[in-house]
Structure 1
Amino acid sequence: METNATPETDRRPTFPSFQEIFQTNSALAIPRSTPFFMDVTLRDGNQALRKPWNLREKEIIFQQLLKLNVQGIEVGFASAGSQDFEACSHLSRLAPDRVVISSLSRAVEEEIELSWKAIHKAARPRIHIVYPVSDFTIRNVLRISEKQVKENIMRSVSYARKFAGNRGEVQFSGEHFGDALENIEFTIEAFRAALDAGADVINLPNTVERYRPFLFVAMIRKVAESLPQGSRISVHTHNDLGMATATTVESFFAGATQLETALNGLGERAGNTNTYEVAVALHNCGVNLDLNLQAIYETSRIVAHMSGVPIPEKAPLIGEDVVAHRSGIHQDGVSKTQNLKKGAYRAFDADLIGRPEGDRIAFTSQSGKSAIFEILNTAGIRVSKEEALRLQPALKSRSEKEGGGELSLEQMAEELQRLRSIES
């Protein structure tokens, strides 16, 4: 039976090629601009907590953000309720002159006005308006025409501009930008309209992470090249597939100068982009940062305690286990490069983020003589490489008998004494 129906495979979106994304002349170049970190912990992070913070708790987090030296802080969603309004107002009054203070609002005039009332006492207030731009959301959630979408964006941004005047700023976020591949040309048109209406910053959120980072980054690059030169572009990515850090870092190299991140990666569902991971990744790439990286480790502990969201032991940078080395091959490399600027198995220096401990070597059934040599000598128990080699079988056997786990210093010292007694 013949049919005119389009095969399902024909309706799949066309993805850009590797060559289209990776431009040899610019991919390795470091942007001249310094990334502007807009923190969203007190808004996006807080709203996702099982027990949102009260005013006192928000102020503690706020002060820690100032210690980290972030350039912008979204202090809340002022129109969400009296508690949010009060928090936005209070924190705005505490903000130093250098920090941009933002409140989120839907494209609703009453909410925009409440946002301004809540943050207008800050030296650098910003009204942040969010409105959907993806074809899927326009058709299935808003259920209006693209023309109406554009009109609503222009009306809300213009209204916010009247309040902000020459002192404040207006940021427009195209919600679900990551889903806007099918109508990217309209989305760019909507962003141009927002700029024409008075927006200072255009934010491109990966509201729900669905695809590979290169696809989102290619979209960022297209927007950056399509908007007027000098347009300030921001990214806000979520971590649904675990790739938010990569997406945000690469977006900076594609033209985004503002990076919206959250402490400990807090946020809806799998969370927002983790501030620490983005910062250290950019640092490792030679990007100049205005952040106080030394405050990272301390901040991570405070946020974990106050949020009730524990830090996984394997969490990058701040997890308990990420400085531990137990494999014999790894331990040998760590031992031989411990005094070099670049370690064989060290992605970052612990003191860079204010972490009190660096590479930690532990002996298990998988370890070798280098671990024995380093552990015992560091503890003040002098052994030679040859003696460590002779001791390794006994320690390996003991570890295996006890389930293959780590041996304590006392257990290792016992086996060393036993070996020396036998040999003497």
Structure 2
Amino acid sequence: MNRFDHKKYRPFPAVKIENRQWPDKTIDKAPTWCSVDLRDGNQALIDPMTVEQKKRLFSLLVKLGFKEIEVGFPAASQPDFDFVRALIDENMIPDDVTVQVLTQAREHLIDRTIEALQGVKKAIVHVYNSTSTVQREQVFCMEREQIVDIAVSGVRMVKERVCHHTDTEWRLEYSPESFTGTELDFAVEICNAVVQEWGPSQDNKIILNLPATVEMSTPNIFADQIEWFCGEIKHRDCIEISLHTHNDRGCAVAAAELGVMAGADRIEGTLMGNGERTGNMDIITMAMNLYSQGVDPQLDLSGAEEIVEVVEACTNIPVNPRHPYIGELVYTAFSGSHQDAIKKCLNRYDEGDHWNIAYLPIDPRDLGRSYEAVIRINSQSGKGGVAYILESEYGLVLPRWMQVEFAKKVQARTENESRELKSAEIWETFNQAYLDNPECATLVSYKLERSDKDYLTAVIRQNGQEQEISGEGNGAIHALTQALQAELGDAVEVNEYSEHALSSGSDAKAVTYIKAQVAGQPHYGVSVSEDTVAANLNAVLAAVSPVLAARATEAA
């Protein structure tokens, strides 16, 4: 029997709205951001932050560019009160930053809140009370009129008290808690009453924060709620509409984005989405979403590693390595086809071009990451990723046929060791296979005489034994293959050849890649030398070395 009974749930009702406008809108500027890491984020922690941890996180938020920061619920606990006082007494709040504090609409809590804020330059007092149907009917057992009275009374108390502290620039924020579960007409009714009591102006707007305290619907329905509310609320020109979405359905960022399209001006959230249950709206994700569309997020998120380090240290919550934009692995490709596509796109990219790189929605460098971290090598990787590592870190531009050959050796090692290979280990594998293989035949000396044909005499060494060989052909490589063919008694033919300089200048080294056929079997060789001819000859010898060694063993 299926015990997963969906019939006890009912769909969230659609909003009756005609000629909705938000689906045709785009976001062309950043909203006003308000970080609630130090309040909403903090109250969701198993071990709430200490005052020192809060100071560290506050400093980071200021550095990132937040101009509004909710710093706590000072009437709820002594640590919250002490932290707010420390910010003020230690002059930690920049002149362009406004701190925000939360309080319920209750007299003793409001008094304690104002006490905590004495001497602050700019403050937002955030008042809230529950308005949702389920809260009214099942928790408080109150009628609508009683809920409105609580809100208006709380706002009146704040208004009466702040007028005695004229050195502070005061703003009011009001939240009908669980806005998503509140009838829309009632949400407008209670907010209109709060606006009338406070008396905002265009120069000092009231903030009406519409929280998805619990995410209850798809993001499009939330956007309908916001558009409907914005169209019905009075004195819209004196109001800043704020959103505070939670992530119960995993759609907090989407809901916030659609809410801005529907008319909201301001967004509350946390770094990496920390918060109760499944968390708050993730400001970093939404801000970087804007950035990826060519919109300035008005936040400096370029120091990803510092952000992760501070948040983890202050919250004791590790950041998921797949976290959007800022996770350790989000710009890392293991798949061979992905690696190849990234490598080809990066090779075509010029600074100043519009970013258009396969599998990378933004330039990792914008977050302080490097291209070296983009491609990592394990058993799922392919030739493109391996080639990218060798080119970007060691200057070797492997031709495609060499990429295919070397990728097999890398894959064999990753499978054998059952782990990812670091770039240094890839270089080590390449060296052992081609450049530092003690069994390779090497050129001791050579003499090249040029006429109608090129005549080569060379002394080669392999496994401590030297021998002289000679041959003629059209160029040094052809002459060497003819000499080797005479030595082995089998056809030796170079099928592929590629070379490039490793640096510039008169002392630059050249690297040569060779694919040779010996008795119909492919062999590969690589050589690096300041002498281009020597590099070519040694690459051929490296390729043919296994056959030379086998014949020497047979002869012995």
Q: In the alignment, which of 351, 358, 370 is matched to residue 344 of structure 1?
A: 358
* CA positional deviation for 1:264: 2.7
TM-score normalised by L of structure 2: 0.69
- Hey, what does 2:194 align to over in structure 1? 194
Separation in 1 of the partners of 2:393 and 2:356?
24
Question: 2:501 maps to what in 1?
Answer: none
1:39-54 matched pairs, under 5 angstroms: 39-54=35-50
The residue identity in structure 1 corresponding to 2:184 is I
* Secondary structure of residue in 1 paired with 2:75: helix
- Confirm or deny: 8 A CA contact 1:325 1:331 kept in the other structure: yes
Asked whether the equivalents of residues 209 and 242 of structure 2 are also in contact (C-alpha less than 8 Å), the reply is yes
| Structure 2, gaps ≥5 residues long | 1-6, 201-205, 434-523, 526-541, 546-556
Instruction: Show the counterpart of 2:212.
Output: 206
Matched residue type, 1:175? E
- Cα distance change of structure 1 residues 19 and 374 upon mapping to structure 2, 3 Å threshold: farther
The residue number in structure 2 matching 1:4 is: none
- Distance (whole Å) between structure 2 residues aligned to residue 9 and residue 309 of structure 1: 34
Q: Please give the per-residue CA displacement for 1:121-166, whole angstroms capped at 9, x wherever unaligned.
A: 2211111111112112111112100011111111111211222347
CA distance in 1, matches of 2:121, 2:386: 57
Q: Which residue of 1 aligns with 2:409?
A: 394
SS at match of 1:52: coil
Q: Which amino acid aligns with 1:186?
A: F
**Cα–Cα, structure 1 residues 356 and 365, in superposed 2: closer, same or farther, change >3 Å?**
closer
1:248 aligns with 2:250: no
Q: Residues 288, 364 of structure 1: CA spacing in aligned structure 2 closer, same or farther, 3 A cutoff?
A: closer
Letter in 1 for 2:362: F
Question: Using a 3 Å threshold, how does the CA distance of structure 1 residues 358 and 121 change in structure 2: closer, same or farther?
Answer: farther
* 1:65 matches 2:73: no
1: CA distance between counterparts of 2:249 and 2:421?
A: 36
Shift of 1:98: 1.2
Change (3 A) 1:163 1:142: same
Q: Is the 8 A contact 1:323 1:358 kept in 2?
A: no
- Quick check: which one's strand share is greater? 2
Q: What pairs up with 1:6-405 in 2 under 5 angstroms? A: 13-16=12-15, 23=22, 26-28=24-26, 30=28, 34-93=30-89, 94-165=92-163, 167-180=169-182, 183-198=183-198, 200-227=206-233, 228-230=235-237, 231-338=239-346, 339=349, 341-355=355-369, 360-380=374-394, 382=396, 383-403=398-418, 405=419
Q: Distance in 2 between matches of 1:191 and 1:168?
A: 19
In 2: Cα distance, 1:79 partner to 1:10 partner? 37
Instruction: Judging by fraction of residues, say which structure has more helix.
Output: 1
Pick closer, same or farther for the CA change 1:215–1:89 going to 2, 3 Å. Answer: same
Aligned to 2:505: none
Deviation at 1:355, TM superposition (A): 3.5
Contact 2:72–2:101 (8 Å) recurs in 1? yes
Cα distance between partner residues in 2 of 1:131 and 1:248: 22
> In the superposition, relative to structure 1, how do residues 356 and 337 fare at CA in structure 2: closer, same or farther (>3 Å)?
closer
State whether residues 101 and 126 of structure 2, in contact with CA within 8 Å, keep that contact through their aligned partners in structure 1. Answer: yes
Q: Secondary structure at the match of 1:197?
A: helix
* 1:351–1:395 distance in 2 versus 1, CA, 3 Å: closer
2:265 maps to amino acid: T
Kept in 1: contact 2:288–2:297 (CA 8 A): no
Point out the structure with max Rg over C-alpha: 2
Distance in 2 (CA, whole Å) between partners of 1:50 and 1:335 is: 44
Q: Using the alignment, how far apart are the partners of 1:176 and 1:133 within structure 2?
A: 7
Letter in 2 for 1:66: V
Question: Residue type of the partner of 1:91?
Answer: L
Shift of 1:260: 0.6
**3-state DSSP class of the match of 2:215?**
coil
Cα 1:321–1:16 shift into 2, 3 Å: same
- In 1, are the aligned partners of 2:12 and 2:216 still within 8 Å (CA)? no
For 1:12 and 1:57, how far apart are their aligned partners in 2?
42
Confirm or deny: 8 A CA contact 2:285 2:325 kept in the other structure. Answer: yes
User: Following the alignment from structure 2 to structure 1, what is the Cα–Cα distance between the partners of residues 417 and 425?
Assistant: 11
Question: Normalising by structure 1, what TM-score?
Answer: 0.89
> Which segment drifts farther, 170-179 or 376-385?
376-385
Q: Is the 8 Å Cα contact of residues 270 and 281 (structure 2) preserved in structure 1?
A: yes
Over residues 303-343 of structure 1, what are the superposed CA-to-partner deviations in whole Å (9 max), with x where a residue is unaligned? 11222111111111221111110112211221122225222
Displacement of 1:171 in angstroms is: 0.5
Q: Secondary structure at the match of 1:96?
A: coil
Distance 1:250 1:168, change over 3 A: same
**Retained in 1: the 8 A contact 2:12–2:217?**
no
Give, in angstroms, the shift of residue 295 of structure 1: 4.0
Q: What letter is aligned with 1:194? A: V
The structure whose RCO (Cα within 8 Å, separation 6+) is larger is 1
Give the letter aligned to residue 383 of structure 2. Answer: K
Q: Is the CA contact (8 Å cut-off) linking 2:22 and 2:262 kept in structure 1?
A: no
Q: Distance in 1 between matches of 2:376 and 2:36?
A: 38
Measure, in 1, the Cα distance between the counterparts of 2:10 and 2:390.
Answer: 64
Name stretches of at least 5 consecutive residues in structure 1 with no aligned partner. Answer: 1-7
For the 8 Å contact 2:17–2:224, the answer to whether it is kept is: no
Percent identical: 28
Displacement of 1:293: 2.4
Distance in 1 separating the partners of 2:193 and 2:51: 37
**Does the CA-based 8 Å contact 1:39-1:70 persist in structure 2?**
yes
Give the whole-Å Cα distance in 2 for the aligned partners of 1:223 and 1:253: 13
Structure 1 residues 363-421: Cα deviation after superposition (integer angstroms, max 9, x where no partner): 23322221121111223162322211222333334433444x42344553455443535
Separation (CA, whole Å) in 1 of partners of 2:76 and 2:284? 28
Q: For 2:365 and 2:65, how far apart are their aligned partners in 1?
A: 18
